[in-house]
Amino acid sequence: MLSPDNNSHHCALSRCTIFVGHVRVTGGYLRASFILPVLFLFGLGVAAGQPSWLTDEQARDVAEKAIHSVHPEPCYSTYRNERLESFVVNVRRNPLVGNRINNSVYFYRVASDICDYVVEKDGKAVRMSQASNDCCEYGIVAVDRSTARSYWFTGEKKENLFREFARDEQMHPDSPRPVLFVALYRELVWGESSDNEIESPEQLRDVVQQNFQSAYSPYERDNVWQRQFEHWWRQFQSRMQKFKLETTYEPTSEGTTTVRGYGFDGFKLTIPRSDPPPKGIPTLFQWALLVKSDGTVERLPSKLIYSAR
């Protein structure tokens, strides 16, 4: 897990996501010394006639409350994703509010964490500890700081939630190639992963290699994975010599765009990792999305490209 006491940068290939992490106890902040300066600056914004949006700390509280209503924990860690925030600004119909950028939406990845907290027992305050942070990753929560509304992208209805989120935040596909809109959809609906858009043989090799290592040699305890991976990669190269990995955007006469790209489904991994042999069959496939002008996204049937153990 990323360290919550520092700004953390996670980069993969040409993509870089900036996470700004905090750990907080439910109902109270661990880093109270930061509250007064933040509220002071927030007050200056209101006095100057700027929109009265939630601060970062207040938005984190909203994100945590969304999780706490379903999975009550004494404390959470929240990691802000500024990369997704920039996507929203660039696909909004109103990118400006007055004389400022309309970046009212913040994204947070929320997870359980280690902390000390206080409960009341028999009328007395008792110090408690949550000693493990290996329990749960709760996914991405978007918070609109102007309305204090949260959107927790989890479960089977993420596609419907994305449609509602896009409507509420007045987002529309960037034309004529909805690159940012589709990237935002994939990360919120399919999950944060470099596996869901493969654009080069080098990227595919890295993704497959990581999957084989986790499946055959969990926790890097041996090198068994190397032989298995090299065999799979040689077979793939021999059968797919002229294959080109790229994402395409095809506009239609109805004003929609069909987007096709490539993804990888590897061995099914568990936490904690299970012993070999792993379950599942590593598969390269082509996905397809139909993007409509109103922001509706429809997933079309996928096409199998290559599958082998």
Q: How many residues does the chain have?
A: 309
- What is the Cα gyration radius of the chain? 22
Give me the tens of pLDDT residue by residue for the chain, a chain 309 residues long.
343 433 333 333 333 334 445 665 554 433 333 333 444 444 444 445 566 999 999 999 999 999 999 999 888 999 999 999 999 999 999 999 999 999 999 999 999 888 887 888 899 998 888 766 567 899 999 999 999 999 999 999 999 999 999 999 999 999 789 999 999 999 999 987 778 899 999 999 999 999 999 999 987 778 889 999 999 999 999 999 889 999 999 998 888 999 999 999 999 988 777 778 889 999 999 999 999 999 999 999 999 999 998
Instruction: Evaluate the CA torsion angle 205, 210, 215, 218 in order and state its sign.
Output: positive
Write phi, then psi, for 247 (nearest 5 degrees). -95, 130
> Could you state, in order of their start, the residue ranges of all structural domains in the chain?
7-175, 195-307
From residue 173, alpha-carbon distances to 89, 95, 261 in Å are 12, 14, 17
pTM (2 d.p.)? 0.79
Whole-number Å distance between alpha carbons of 109 and 111: 7
